[in-house]
Amino acid sequence: MLSGLIEPVSEKQDAVGVIMPHAGYVYSGYVAGATISKVGLKKTVIILGTNHTGRGERFSIMTSGSWATPLGEVKIDSEIAESVLKESSLLKDDALAHMYEHSIEVELPFLQYLEKDIRIVPIVISEGKLSEYQKLGEEIADGFKKIGRSGLFMASTDMTHYESKESAQEKDRLAIDAISDMNEEKLFNVVKEKDLSMCGLPATCVLISACKKLGAKKAGLVKYQTSGDTSGDYSSVVGYAGMIIW
């Protein structure tokens, strides 16, 4: 399945960050595959997920251990994770928030397919204030920089949930434009004002904040689809966007 989703790309983007969807592969896999195919992978990926379960700490990082997928185990990069945790006043070392959460785990096979010995730093981010997201992003970037190694940052999010294709596209375009502007405040306000059911808003705001701290200036859309492109039902869709920050 992954071989059919990953695209052969000769020239990879030297990205600071990437935004990936996290639905079932039959629905969002083409967006995820097209996006990650265009990125030059690093040995470590710092993945910002959302908290669908309500379990664990509000801002949760795992600093040790490994995650298992059908492609084998993915080890946590403890050196980077511990540096990020030490630098942050908001993050807590906590496995419970990750226990039944899918937003990070569904990204891992894509990474493993492209880089056998990939390592991760898993961070789950719950609802909070914009100021918390901005602060957390800067803290994560500072902790990462102190180690002095390269890495790729990723936010895992789906876009509008269960609205018509027309409504979803209209709302998602506003969010995509805000991300393209590298403006987490604009994104936060658009989601709140338009009641946009983008589940990974916290992770995406933190990603933009972290990437700007690391010197990123631009963001662009790679691919956008809805679940209707698979199911044929356009009356109630979920939107998926893949984006790159550099």
> Is residue 1 assigned to a domain?
no
> Is residue 67 assigned to a domain?
yes
Question: Residues 150, 15: contact at Cβ < 8 Å?
Answer: no
- Distance of alpha carbon 87 from alpha carbon 147, whole angstroms: 11
Confidence class for position 207, pLDDT limits 50, 70, 90: very high
Residue type, 234: Y
> Is residue 107 assigned to a domain?
yes
pLDDT tens digits along 211-226: 999 999 999 999 999 9
Q: What share of the chain is helix, strand, coil (3-state, %, to 5)?
A: 40, 25, 35
> Is residue 48 assigned to a domain?
yes
End-to-end CA distance of the chain: 28
- Distance of alpha carbon 124 from alpha carbon 116, whole angstroms: 24
> Is residue 3 assigned to a domain?
no
Phi, psi of 73 (to 5 degrees): -90, 145
Q: Which two tokens stand for residue 201?
A: 């808003």
**What DSSP element (H or E) covers 163?**
strand 161-163
- How many domains, in total, are found in the chain? 1
Question: Residues 159, 23: contact at Cβ < 8 Å?
Answer: no
pLDDT of the residue at 200: 97
pLDDT tens digits along 56-88: 999 999 999 999 999 999 999 999 999 999 999
> Is residue 117 assigned to a domain?
yes
Q: Which two tokens stand for residue 240?
A: 């998926």
CATH of the domain at 139: 3.40.830.10
pLDDT tens digits along 109-148: 999 999 999 999 999 999 999 999 999 999 999 999 999 9
CA 50 to each of CA 12, 61, 87: distance values in angstroms, whole numbers, following the listed order: 27, 12, 21
Taking residues 188-204, what's their average pLDDT? 97
Is the pTM for the entire model greater than 0.85? yes
- Distance of alpha carbon 216 from alpha carbon 232, whole angstroms: 38
Q: Output DSSP code: residue 84.
A: H
> What residues make up the domain containing 228?
8-245
Q: Which two tokens stand for residue 116?
A: 């056998």
Confidence class for position 48, pLDDT limits 50, 70, 90: very high
Residue 10 has pLDDT above 90, yes or no: no
pLDDT of the residue at 160: 97
